[in-house]
Each structure stands twice: as structure tokens, then as C-alpha cells.
Amino acid sequence: MKHTPQSTELLYSNNQTFEDGRLLPVMEHFYTLQGEGMHSGKAAYFIRVGGCDVGCHWCDVKESWNAHLHPLVEIEPLLEQAIQNPSGVVVITGGEPSLYPMEFTTEFLHKKGVAAHLETSGAYPLTGNWDWICLSPKKTITPLPEIYSKAHELKVIVYNRNDLVWAQKQAEAVRAAGNNCPLILQPEWSKREEVMPLITEFTMQHPEWRVGIQTHKYLHLP
């Protein structure tokens, strides 16, 4: 799939718009427990940036898609606020964070001794220095090849049976890049009752995978 950002303003190459990452279109930010992936259940501060043109039809944060609904804000004071908790972790999620220059954010966090985690589809070039990268690839805009070697976990959302075949291809790409990271299958929330038996059976047949669920939704957390 061709990479076609919805607006040239969202291109990473247009660094001036974002003052080299000092300004970002923040949609929301909150302290909570991580709900998905290998860090599920651990406390972390989340910063969600707006803007995404990946277009997953089942996306549960569609209000994040239009970056222009989320005005650019100075990220430094927000990061100062984000580190005022004992978790020692800030997660940058979206939207699609790889649309923006992230070096300023990760440098800031590292100077303060805080871990920088990223949730991305890998659709655009990775910037910043991340302690943990959750790669959640999407069929609509597949990841750029270079992220397969950098991901710390591969998390594939399963909406239907075909997604399991696609998940295997994504796992092959990760392994071909020499990356032995954990592989996670996560049921899409609205289809969880339907696909969970498929995922369970698949995982028992392919034990290199593990099942992940959106624990924050069961716990009624953001």
C-alpha cells in the first residue's frame, strides 16, 4: 500500500510546522494502567497525538484522525506534567505518532530518567530514541520495512479469520529482520466474542504467538 499522508502538514519532513517536535497536536493525555501488550497492567502516562490516515475501519479512536481538530501545543510543559508520577514511563500513542518528529520528546524524557514508549503502525519513518516500540501493523498502510528490526513487540489486531494469515506474514517479516520479539494476537474489541475462539485455536497450533486482550476496557480505564 502506498504511503499517502492526508496532508503535507502531517509529513515528518515538514519539520518547521512542528518546530522540530516542540509542538505536537495533542488530543489527550492521562495517567492510567497500560491495557495492551507486554506491559499490560503497568502504570504509565499516556500522551495521544492526533492525526492518522491509516484508516482502520474498526478504529476505536476515529476522533484522532483529523490532526487539525487537535491544535498544536508546546510539548515540553506537558512532558513536565507527564513525569510527575511514580511510573517512570510515558507512552506516546495516537493517532499515528510516526507522522511527527519525536526526537525532542524522547530526549526530554531520557534526560529526566523516564522511559519513552511508542505505539505505532510503522506507516511512516521512525524518529526518536525509544525504549519500547509496540508495532501494531495495519493492512491499509503496511509498515515501512525498517521498523521490523526495531519493534520490541508485534501486536496484530484480529477482526476476522483472514487477519490470522496476515499476522503470520507480519511475523515472518519481523523474524526475517532478525527480531525475536514477542508476537501478540489481540481480538478487535467489537468482534471479541466471535474471534476469540479462532485466536485461541490458532495460538495453540502456533505457540510462538500469545493472546493479548484490551484489559483497560474490562477495567473501564481510558
95 binds ligand SF4 (CB under 6 A): yes
107-126 burial, b at 16+ Cβ within 10 Å, e below that, comes to ebbeeeebbbbbbbbbbbeb
Cell numbers describing residue 120:
505505532
Residue 36 makes contact with ligand SF4 by CB under 6 A: no
Backbone angles phi, psi at 171, to 5 degrees: -65, -40
Q: Which of 11, 59, 78, 115 binds ligand SF4 (CB under 6 A)?
A: 59
Location of C-alpha cell 502516562 = 45
Between 58 and 208, whose beta carbon lies closer to ligand SF4?
Answer: 58
From the CB of 62, what's the least distance to ligand SF4, in Å? 7
- By CB under 6 A, tell whether 138 contacts ligand SF4: yes
21 versus 122: smaller Cβ distance to ligand SF4: 122
Q: In the set 11, 33, 61, 211, which binds ligand SF4 (CB under 6 A)?
A: 61
Q: What are phi and psi of 126, to 5 degrees?
A: -75, 135
Rg for the chain, CA atoms, rounded = 17
Contacts of 51 (CB under 8 A, 6+ apart): 6, 10, 25, 64, 65, 66, 67, 70, 94, 95, 96, 99, 100
Under the criterion CB under 6 A, does residue 54 sit at the interface with ligand SF4? Answer: yes
Candidate segments 11-19, 50-58, 108-116, 125-133, binder of ligand SF4 by CB under 6 A: 50-58
Interaction with ligand SF4 in 111-130: which residues (CB under 6 A)? 121
- Binding stretches for ligand SF4 (CB under 6 A): 52, 54-56, 59, 61, 64, 94-96, 121, 138
